[in-house]
């Protein structure tokens, strides 16, 4: 603020320039010219010769954000709280989009009728099926997925999995249980042939010793014997193991083989619907996928 020679105060420069006028109606129904004010950036673009001055205390908001400069600077995020996560329930027939929930609490429950995420139309899901928990460890945070003693289990999508006795997997839409070998009942030979007890082995005893996958979902039990060190599971006729009634199987969906330690392994063959293993508790990474009931999810850490 400055003073003129006659001692009167000079008028403060306007924050915005008067650049045009329009006709407005006064209260007495007469018309007069009223000023039109433009934002300083617009006023300056109309006339480079016009000057715009701002008060020292005026706050100028950012209107146009230019993010074209390249640098190694990370976008801002809080370092004093747990990271946010996003849970996506895939839409039917899709594996890359669906309904989303933002997880900002340390415990997040998923269920058919109770919890922060409710999937009311999935009757294969338990009332409180599973929970996601965030816990602090060392200098970071870990996320755990835990099954809450559900009826139909919690399944994690995997690239490959080592099989052990009783392990359950989903291949396509079928659920299978791995058995390291079959079993039979020992029956004694007839008394007329011997007096001491001698086990009577069945004719297919050699096959009964083979490891196998047993289907859980078929009304009639289907058994897939692992006779060879390597075999394919899929819908194609050239596969050693086929499930022709499963429309969600790729032609060569997964490979079943023995590794260098003679363990049986199932490896996904970049199939559309993947392979999934039943878990009680597992740590989640970003982009982990899991299935509860008939609903599939994706978990992302932001």
CB atoms within 10 A of CB 182: 17
- Which of 1-15, 128-142, 228-242 comes out lowest in average pLDDT? 1-15
| Dihedral pair phi/psi, residue 206, rounded to 5° | -60, -40
Burial class of residue 146, CB neighbours in 10 A (0-12, 13-18, 19+): middle
Mean pLDDT across the chain: 82
- The pLDDT, as a whole number, for residue 252 is 97
Tokens of 232: 């394919």
- The pLDDT, as a whole number, for residue 30 is 52
Give the CA dihedral 276, 269, 234, 161, nearest 10 degrees: -40
**Secondary structure of the chain in HEC code, one letter for each residue:** CCECCCCCECCCCCCCCEEEEEEEECCCCCEEEEEEECCHHHHHHHCCCCCCCCCCCCCCCCCCCCCCCCCCCCCCCCCCCCCCEEEEEECCCCCCCEEEEEECCCEEEEECCCCCEECCCCCCCCCCCEEEEEEEECCEEEEEEEECCCCCCEEEEECEEECCCCCEEEECCEEEEEECCCCCCCEECCCCCCCCCCEECCCCHHHHCCCEEEECCCCCCCEEECCCCEEEEECCCCCCEECCCCCCCCCCCEEEEECCCCCEEEEECCCCCCEEEEECEEEECCCEEEEECCEEEEEEEC
Tokens of 83: 């990271």
pTM reported for the whole predicted model: 0.72
Model confidence at 258, in pLDDT bands (50, 70, 90)? very high
- The pLDDT, as a whole number, for residue 288 is 97
- The pLDDT, as a whole number, for residue 185 is 52
Q: What is the pLDDT of residues 150-195, one digit of tens each?
A: 999 999 999 999 999 999 999 999 999 999 875 545 555 555 555 5
| Dihedral pair phi/psi, residue 159, rounded to 5° | -80, -40
């Amino acid at each position: 603020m400055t003073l003129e020679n006659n001692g009167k105060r000079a008028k403060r420069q306007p924050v915005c320039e008067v650049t045009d006028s329009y006709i407005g109606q006064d209260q007495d129904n007469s018309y007069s010219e009223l000023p039109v004010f433009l934002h300083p950036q617009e006023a300056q673009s109309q006339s480079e010769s016009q000057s715009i001055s701002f008060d020292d205390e005026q706050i100028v908001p950012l209107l146009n954000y230019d993010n074209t400069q390249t640098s190694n600077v990370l976008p801002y995020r809080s370092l004093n709280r747990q990271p946010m996560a996003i849970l996506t329930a895939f839409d039917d027939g899709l594996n890359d989009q669906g309904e989303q929930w933002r997880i900002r609490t340390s415990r997040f429950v998923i269920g058919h009728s109770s919890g922060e995420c409710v999937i009311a139309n999935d009757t294969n899901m338990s009332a409180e099926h599973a929970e996601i928990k965030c816990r602090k460890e060392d200098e970071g945070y870990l996320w755990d997925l835990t099954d809450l003693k559900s009826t139909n289990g919690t399944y994690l999508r995997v690239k490959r999995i080592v099989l052990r006795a009783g392990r359950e997997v989903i291949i396509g839409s079928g659920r299978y249980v791995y058995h390291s070998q079959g079993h039979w009942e020992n029956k004694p030979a007839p008394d007329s042939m011997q007096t001491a007890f001698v086990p009577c082995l069945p004719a297919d005893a050699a096959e009964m010793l083979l490891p196998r996958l047993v289907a859980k979902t078929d009304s009639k039990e289907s058994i897939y014997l692992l006779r060879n060190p390597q075999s394919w599971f899929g819908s194609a006729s050239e596969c050693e193991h086929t499930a022709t009634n499963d429309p969600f199987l790729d032609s060569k969906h997964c490979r079943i083989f023995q590794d260098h330690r003679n363990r049986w392994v199932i490896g996904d063959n970049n199939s559309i619907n993947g392979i999934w293993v039943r878990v009680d508790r597992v740590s989640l990474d970003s982009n982990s996928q899991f299935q509860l009931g008939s609903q599939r999810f994706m978990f992302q850490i932001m």
